[in-house]
Chain A
Amino acid sequence: MNVLVWVREGVWPAAVDAARELAGVDDAVTLVHVVDPAIAAGAQGAYAGLLGRGGWSPRGRTDPGAAVTAAETGAEEALMAAAGERLGRDAAPVFRRGRVEREVVEACAGMDLLVVARDGDVRRAGPKSLGPASRYVVDHAPCRVLLVWP
């Protein structure tokens, strides 16, 4: 069985724990994390709005979009390393770029099971315990979905 675990900020440990308990020795586990480039593009846009600041600089001061992208990549690697360690077994990491919910659905191709932790308001049961992203993923995933409480 191919198991895909969505490593989502704030709620991923529950999904990883569920995958660890569920996956047998013959199963393959994949961890997926998505970075939305729109965040860096937003920071870059704010810089573009500062009229006249694009002066020549010998150090080539990069705009904050590039710095944000670099910080995102660094944080993503740390997050996936932590997830891999918590899983305690071999897992293939997958890094994707784009709209979070769509990328996760696309990453489900060839998978038998997707493990998702609720990413909404989990203080009470009900539809709001799914955020917009996990709602979309649960509705559109082409494979079986295991939904866990964080």
Chain B
Amino acid sequence: MSTIIALVLLAAVLGFAVARPRGLPEAVAAVPAALLCITLGLVSFTEAVHEVRELLPTVLFLAAVLVLAYLAEKHGVFEYAGAAVARFGRGRPKRLLTAVFAAAALTTAVLSLDATVVLLTPVVLTVAARAGVRPRPHVYACTHLANSASLLLPVSNLTNLLAFAASGLNFAGFAALMAVPWLAVVAVEYVIFRFFFARDLVGQAEAPPPPGPAPKYALAVLAATLAGFAALQPFGVDPAWVAAAGAIGLAIPLLRRRAVGAGTLLAEANPAFCAFVLALGVVVLAVRSNGLGDWIDGLVPRHADLLGLLAVAGLAAILANLLNNLPATLVLLPAAAHSPGLLMAVLIGVNVGPNLTYVGSLATLLWRRILHARDAAPRTSEFLLLGLATVPVCLVAAVVALWAGLRVGGI
């Protein structure tokens, strides 16, 4: 009975998050559901507090990265990136696609997938349209790489942050393990995009003017923050502090010029989202500790051999498409926490998998189909086809690269 209640609560939280009635934040359903889990005794109060305290540093880290990305935009980093992409593209669609891939993969890796989806995509559309090329492949590249290029660093995706906290790896170790899978995925996506959109990548437009001056200060702060993540962790400095320091470094000149206010920064840290993640953690804990945990642990292979890694990545990709990748990560992490290899395979699944249903999960896809029944609908079939063409190959390529890395590294 308690299993059913926990599952109903999880379904309600996810359903609300997908439907977003009246545009209310997702936390509106998630926080009461978490409290209900405690009241009904599905999780004890101490367990819930323990879960929240485990997740809190990760969530604060995420908030710092969200603010960092927002401030980078205010400093003109994305505008500059767009101009540099246009310059490299020289009005040729294929060169432009190459540049967009580089920009999207780097933005996702350093400033998280949110930055690519929200901040880079509109810039790329403008660049492609101004260059006079058909923008479809370039915009789709952004939406795809936001997911699949989020393997490299712990900051690239919230799923990575969650696994990073559970893995016991350090920042540099995580990046070293994921570098080759990341490159493999980006390379596979690139080759498939070139074929898939071959007929859109034609024509020639005029070369754009050179980009304006680079936002040197912001780029320097971002580079220092990135170096600080890896360099300071051996000295016991948590990466979350480095991210916060980077955000403060970017904020100071803007606050002085009154270009941003403290209230805006707080809003950009998205406290409602942070509350949602913490509450979701408690609800997922209730689902796991009421019978489903053992069942899921039984599904996850014990050993990080090639077949085991492939199976975990596949399972994670399926769950990510059924539930969305955030709950899928929370559900699978404890089952894979005993092995860094399996954890990384979970990440490959939950990060690359969502491209199959480009809106993150089947539920979101169906909901959007209903919403868009009357007005302009996204070309769902085209996205699904692109997902089918890329996701399985990317998953296998990344897992094989991870497996080779594990063998070489002796982990």
Contacts and interface: CB of A to CB of B under 8 A. Distances in A.
B267 A9 contact: no
Contacts of B9: none
Contacts, number: 169
Given A55-B25, A131-B202, A150-B203, A68 B132 contact: no
Interface in B14-36: 14, 17-18, 20, 23, 25-27
B356 to A, nearest CB: 11
Given A10-B204, A47-B117, A51-B18, 12 more contacts: A38-B377, A38-B379, A42-B139, A43-B121, A46-B142, A51-B26, A52-B17, A53-B270, A55-B272, A71-B126, A71-B129, A74-B126
A122 interface: yes
Given A42-B140, A64-B118, A75-B129, A58 B26 contact: no
Contacts of B326: 51-52
30 contacts: A9-B203, A10-B133, A12-B132, A36-B136, A39-B136, A41-B377, A42-B139, A42-B143, A42-B383, A43-B125, A45-B358, A46-B143, A46-B146, A47-B117, A50-B360, A51-B327, A51-B364, A52-B26, A52-B280, A52-B326, A54-B20, A55-B27, A58-B263, A59-B267, A70-B122, A72-B125, A74-B129, A121-B202, A131-B199, A131-B202
A78 B130 CA distance: 8
B377 A46 contact: no
A58 B268 CA distance: 10
Contacts of A105: none
Interface residues of B, number: 64
B132 A10 contact: yes
B64 to A, nearest CB: 16
Given A9-B132, A49-B361, A71-B126, A55 B270 contact: yes
Contacts of A67: 121-122
A56 to B, nearest CB: 5
Given A46-B359, A51-B360, A56-B25, A38 B203 contact: no
A52 B277 contact: yes
A79 interface: yes
Interface in B248-275: 263-264, 267-268, 270-273
B134 A52 contact: no
Contacts of A150: 203
Contact of B324 (A39, A47, A49, A56): A49
A66 B368 CA distance: 16
A9 B129 contact: yes
